[in-house]
Structure 1
């Protein structure tokens, strides 16, 4: 890398309620991690709560859900964003608390970061219909973002395990939201080669969008690394997890990724969320 480059550390975490996460130790993790931009999902709190927890050194953008105490996405950064945008999909579709974009100037270049929280869904219910509407909105928005800036990363809890490698017990979840073939086909297109027709795992066809799954690029074709484990039973202890949290980047930004880490807690007792942070360093 050139001597004039800047390291940008982007971290993403579904806190499952940021106030509860701070009570359990999130603050100590953040203080020690050297994060430049922090994307949070499932904030479940007011902007004033976020400001009080993170402190004055952070510039905070927050899009709360329509229903109080639900969802909510935020971006916290060491420097202020130049502009931010919310909402995705049709005007009638309520995406509040699930999609927040911001542009940051880094070493003279604009880097766009999106904190995203895809619906969890539930097979054969209206919840799944809402999830597909959101994924349709992402499909339309991703090319627009790539046209907006060559340095874009969409991070967060995307609530889909793309491949069998992304779920420990995938055979037992083939009919469950999060691993339905129709959901996974969206990700086949997200990560498919740009300008080509991609056949999804469900047999559907559509244009590849050319985005890069940073986690899979660094980990290779191996199981995991998982980012979510059920709080029930011994899922964490046996590493029976799902990889639901992503950093997906435009090719130009992906080429500048120099490290990828999943900050898995040392023990079940030390967890402060059912998800774990995903941290990537980019050299800008």
Structure 2
């Protein structure tokens, strides 16, 4: 069994102070994809290269204290790919791919952090640029190898993926354009689709239990007024091996909940 976790840390230093490493040690995942590490290489060295016995690999943002992704793994990758070829968004540290290739297969685990457009129209337009450029990259990758992408998409796909969907239809993260992008990506027969939302394969009708992020405003967490922003997206062959999922809402070392999926394969 391959246990794979995704978690937006909202800062690796803050999350580890709040117990993230102890939680990782108790969970014992094979890989954990992390997003929004908010750190550079100098911050990681000597402190966070390894957590809970897992070795970390990272893609840093150029801007200090911003974005950044990583993957902690028990297994030695055959290759590490930082960035996906976009000068604009590779500078923001949004993509890390570990390849675990053998003579018999090509397989990747990807940690990705999609931009948020919540701060204003300029960032929403940047988000749309990211989506436009990232889609063909995913299609090219799908044509060449099996993969699981874990990450904070900053998009709730369907009305069952957030509490207050009616009032959020014009807000970043639930706009018609963003939702349509995910729908295209997940279309089962179109050449421009073919990926699988693994959580929804296992839990097609879950609503309140599906949320992975809660605003810090008001009593959003206490009242479970949340959004499902964190995903496992996989090629069909790997998605078919998903056996069980778990969202760890009780862990509070970030404003996101970790999501783990157990897959019936080993590296």
Q: 2:116 aligns with which of 116, 120, 124?
A: 120
**Equivalent residue number for residue 201 of structure 1:** none
Cα displacement (A) at 1:36: 0.7
Cα displacement (A) at 1:129: 1.3
Q: 1:81 aligns with which of 77, 82, 102?
A: 77
**Equivalent residue number for residue 204 of structure 1:** none
Query: How many angstroms apart in 1 are the aligned matches of 2:263 and 2:169?
Result: 35
Three-state SS of the structure 2 residue aligned to 1:60 is strand
Query: How many angstroms apart in 1 are the aligned matches of 2:192 and 2:37?
Result: 32
**Equivalent residue number for residue 64 of structure 1:** 60
Query: How many angstroms apart in 1 are the aligned matches of 2:137 and 2:168?
Result: 29
Cα displacement (A) at 1:110: 3.6
**Equivalent residue number for residue 130 of structure 1:** 126
**Equivalent residue number for residue 210 of structure 1:** 194
* Equivalent residue pairs, number: 262
Query: How many angstroms apart in 2 are the aligned matches of 1:23 and 1:98?
Result: 23
Deviation track 1:223-257 (CA, whole Å, cap 9, x = no partner) reads: 14100011222111111100000001000000111
Specify whether residues 48 and 80 from structure 1 end up closer, same or farther in structure 2 by C-alpha distance, changes over 3 A only: farther
**Equivalent residue number for residue 161 of structure 1:** 156
Report the RMSD for the aligned CA atoms in angstroms: 2.1
Deviation track 1:6-64 (CA, whole Å, cap 9, x = no partner) reads: x1111010000011011111112101001111111000123454462434832221111
**Equivalent residue number for residue 182 of structure 1:** 177
Three-state SS of the structure 2 residue aligned to 1:193 is coil
**If the length of structure 1 is used for normalisation, what is the TM-score?**
0.86
Specify whether residues 245 and 56 from structure 1 end up closer, same or farther in structure 2 by C-alpha distance, changes over 3 A only: closer
- Work out whether residues 40 and 61 of structure 2, in 8 Å CA contact, stay in contact via their aligned partners in 1: no
- Work out whether residues 9 and 36 of structure 1, in 8 Å CA contact, stay in contact via their aligned partners in 2: yes
Further displaced range: 63-72 or 109-118? 109-118
Unaligned segments of structure 1, at least 5 residues: 1-6, 196-206
**If the length of structure 2 is used for normalisation, what is the TM-score?**
0.91
- Work out whether residues 156 and 162 of structure 2, in 8 Å CA contact, stay in contact via their aligned partners in 1: yes
**Equivalent residue number for residue 242 of structure 1:** 227
1:170 aligns with 2:154: no
**Equivalent residue number for residue 282 of structure 1:** 263
Three-state SS of the structure 1 residue aligned to 2:142 is helix
Specify whether residues 212 and 56 from structure 1 end up closer, same or farther in structure 2 by C-alpha distance, changes over 3 A only: closer
Query: How many angstroms apart in 2 are the aligned matches of 1:226 and 1:56?
Result: 26
